[in-house]
Amino acid sequence: MKIKILIPVLFLLLSSFASINAQTKTEVNSKQASVLLQKDSKLIVLDVRTPEEFKEGHIKGAINIDIRQEDAFSKIDKLNRNAKYLVYCRTNHRSGMAVDHMMQSGFRNVTQMMDGFPGWAANKLAVQK
């Protein structure tokens, strides 16, 4: 009888612990990303393209960490793992590498913009230079 009571209690405890440490990875297009940025002023934008690409145009307020540099992952690791991030590059290859690293490193809420900066520009969304 005591075991029948103990099993649901253990299940609830484990479920609550799992939700406390839950990680979320989301994929969006540039239009959806724009809406997210309008709704959440705390969303941190991470541009993982080269500094040259970044200078040609980027999303306003973006942080630039060139994922191809040796120290890129160590720079990412210094970011707040509890913050919300929107990550993009040109296509989605480099942002995919960054997002995978972030998820493996315990970042809790990461969104990848799948159509990249060209999608952002093609939709005539605000660009900062």
Which residues are CB-neighbours of 22 under 8 A, at least 6 positions away? 108
For the cut 90, the answer to whether the pLDDT of residue 11 exceeds it is: no
Q: Would you place residue 26 in the very low, low, confident or very high pLDDT band (cuts 50, 70, 90)?
A: very high
Can you give the residue ranges of every domain in the chain? 23-122
Contact yes or no for 128/60 (Cβ under 8 A): yes
DSSP label at residue 43? P
For the cut 80, the answer to whether the pLDDT of residue 7 exceeds it is: no
Q: Which CATH code is given to the segment(s) 23-122?
A: 3.40.250.10
